[in-house]
Amino acid sequence: MTGEPIEAVKNGIQVMISSLRQNPQAIETAFISIITFDSTARQLVPLTDLASFQMVDIKASGTTSLGEALKLVSSCIDNEVAKTTQEQKGDWKPLVFIMTDGIPTDEWQSGLDEFRKRKTAYTVACAAGSGADSNLLKQITENVVSLDTADSQSISKFFSWVSASIGVTSTKVEDAGKEVSGLGELPPPPSELNIVT
């Protein structure tokens, strides 16, 4: 991604951050990290709270190492997103937004396998322009958005949607479990029952 699209992405992120700063829930709770991928994947900004976040210059040229990016985001989730333990309060499950204007040029299946092992509240992939393949991105997540052209207007629309999602979702993302229905009566007590000690 070069030229107008990458400028539009930078601008989109900038606008998104500014608008999120006006959302009280987001400014008190949201953290953001940026990973770029071209011939290699790099974490440009480690997971940073919104209030401290400062935009960096984004460059992307050459190939599309999507697999490496998926591996990197997986290890970043492991290292930076806190899980709930007896002594530590866990973070909310992360939201992952993937944006690409090309098709992966690396062995990306192994990256996808890694990423699938991580829990996200949800993952959104955006196929920007005709060079990207939204069917391919469907393998990563069912939430795929595609932009017909990777121009600044479409990209900025995508980002305003992303910021709205972050604003809403940072309120609560629950693990509501699977819907199982049909239970006639209370199951009998187990043979080992020790309520009273």
Partner 1 sequence: MPEMGNVKAQLTELFLKNNVEVPSNRKDLFDKFIRDDKTVAATRLISELENQLMANWKLQDRIATIQGQPVRIHNASVGKLYEAKLDFEQLGWTDLSHWKFEGLEENGLTFEEEQKQISGKPVQSGDIPLRFLFKLKEQADDEPFNEKLIMLIVNPDPKSLWKNLDSDKNDPYWKEDNITVCEPLGDRYILASSKRGRSHANEGSFREDDFAFMNLENGWSIVAVSDGAGSARFSRKGSDIACRSVVEYFGEESSATSLQEFDQILEQHKAKASPDSSTKLNHYVYNTLGKAAFTVHKRLEDFASKAGHTLKDLSCTLIFTLFKRYESGYAFLSFGVGDCPIAVLNKDISEVTLLNWIDVGEFGGGTRFITMPEIFRNEKFATRFSFIEKEDFSYLMLMSDGIYDPKFVVEANLENIAKWKELLEDLNGNNEGGVKVELDPGNKEIVQQFSAWMDFWSTGNHDDRTLAIVF
> Is residue 179 close enough to count as binding partner 1 by CB under 8 A?
yes
Kindly tell me which of 135 and 176 has the beta carbon lying closer to partner 1: 176
| Residue 197 contacts residue 56 (beta carbons within 8 Å) | no
> Is residue 178 close enough to count as binding partner 1 by CB under 8 A?
yes
Residues 11-50 interacting with partner 1 (rule: CB under 8 A): 18, 21-25, 27-29, 50
Kindly tell me which of 135 and 185 has the beta carbon lying closer to partner 1: 185
Which of 42, 58, 92, 161 touches partner 1 by CB under 8 A? 92
- ∠ CA 33-34-35, rounded to 5°: 125
Binding mask 48-77 for partner 1 (x = CB under 8 A): --xxxxx-----------------------
Of 31-39, 126-134, 140-148, 175-183, the segment contacting partner 1 by CB under 8 A is 175-183
Which of 3, 117, 135, 175 touches partner 1 by CB under 8 A? 175
- Least Å from the CB of residue 73 to partner 1: 16
Phi (first) and psi of residue 91, to 5 degrees: -80, 165
Pick the closest to residue 34 from 2, 76, 75, 71 (CA basis). Answer: 76
- Round to whole Å and give the CA distance between 143 and 154: 17
Structure tokens at 56: 């960096």
Side chain identity at 189, as an amino acid letter?
P
- Round to whole Å and give the CA distance between 161 and 19: 11
Q: Which residue has the tokens 């092992």?
A: 117
Structure tokens at 113: 């396998």
Q: Which residues bind partner 1 (CB under 8 A)?
A: 18, 21-25, 27-29, 50-54, 81, 83-93, 119, 171-183, 185-187, 189-190, 193-196
